[in-house]
Amino acid sequence: MEILRNKEELLRWRAECVKYNNIEFTNIAESKLSAESTSMKYNASIGYIPTMGALHGGHLSLVKRSKKENDFTILSIFVNPTQFGINEDFDKYPRLLEKDLDLCRIDGVDAVFVPSVDDMYSKDEETILVPPSGLSNVFEGAIRSSHFSGVLRVVLKFFNLIRPQNAYFGQKDAQQLLIIKKMVSDLFLNLNIVGCPIVRDCNGLAMSSRNVYLDEVAYNRALSIPRAVNATKEAFTSISDARLLEAIAMEELTGLEVDYCSIVDYNLNSIDKVLAGNAILLIAARVCGVRLIDNLWF
């Protein structure tokens, strides 16, 4: 596994992947012919997983999927300052690089990109990206005003450096996934965004790097969140009224400080009737001061 500590190392790695696989030096038709005659690959693909580190089973599920679908898998670890507000946990966000690298090695990641902040951002005022307000000023964006702008900025930089064919994101961060898909579509970016299911621990809590902030009491209280998700999922087999389903979820969340518990469509507009394939239950709640998010894609 290669550890790429700056842009130059990343670009060298990428060029090597391309060379090895005989693409970009010849056209695809020639590559195909050459591949057929020499049994070399001609359409090598790079799968990319952006992360902020403190890796867990959720991240590793994205690695697994990428490895299945691509010739090369690269994961970045970068705690992105521009997506944190001034009073958020940027400084105390868990940083566990050596452990993360071990997990990546075990899981067969080909390369890990760990740039510095100076590598990713210039000192001058930079071009910024503003996501559509309808998607970004609500839910997570309502309390974290420039969060999604910071996410898009760094994700676009990574896409442009790595130029993957496929990039893997968790459905856990539902709003982020929808906003990134919208950017890719609006800016005609040439890659696929693959949304992957939420990975949960043995008690059902959605895995998150921030779960390390939960002590035992908080952890047990937090389990109301997956209970709310499950109750809603079960109720959806016989109920499609969105308000009723929200009420069923809210009942399980009693005692938590709920920021939101809402059923919306993929444009994040409120809906009355839940239809499979275009509805999500979004939950954010604070448990002993730790803010957790979870969701259900109907």
Q: Rule CB under 6 A: is residue 59 a binding residue for ligand AMP?
A: yes
By CB neighbour count within 10 A (0-12 exposed, 13-18 middle, 19+ buried), where does 91 fall? exposed
Active site residue 147: no
Q: Rule CB under 6 A: is residue 153 a binding residue for ligand AMP?
A: no
Q: Rule CB under 6 A: is residue 52 a binding residue for ligand AMP?
A: yes
- The pattern of x and - marking residues 192 through 231 that bind ligand AMP according to CB under 6 A reads ----x-xx------xxxx----------------------
Of these residues, 4, 31, 50, 59, which one is catalytic?
59
Size of the site for ligand AMP (CB under 6 A): 17
Q: Rule CB under 6 A: is residue 100 a binding residue for ligand AMP?
A: no
Minimum separation from the CB atom of position 64 to ligand AMP (A): 11
Minimum separation from the CB atom of position 73 to ligand AMP (A): 14
Return the residue of 42, 48, 169, 236 that touches ligand AMP, per CB under 6 A: 169
> Which residues are at the interface with ligand AMP (CB under 6 A)?
51-52, 58-59, 61-62, 169-170, 172-173, 196, 198-199, 206-209
Residues with a catalytic annotation lie at: 59
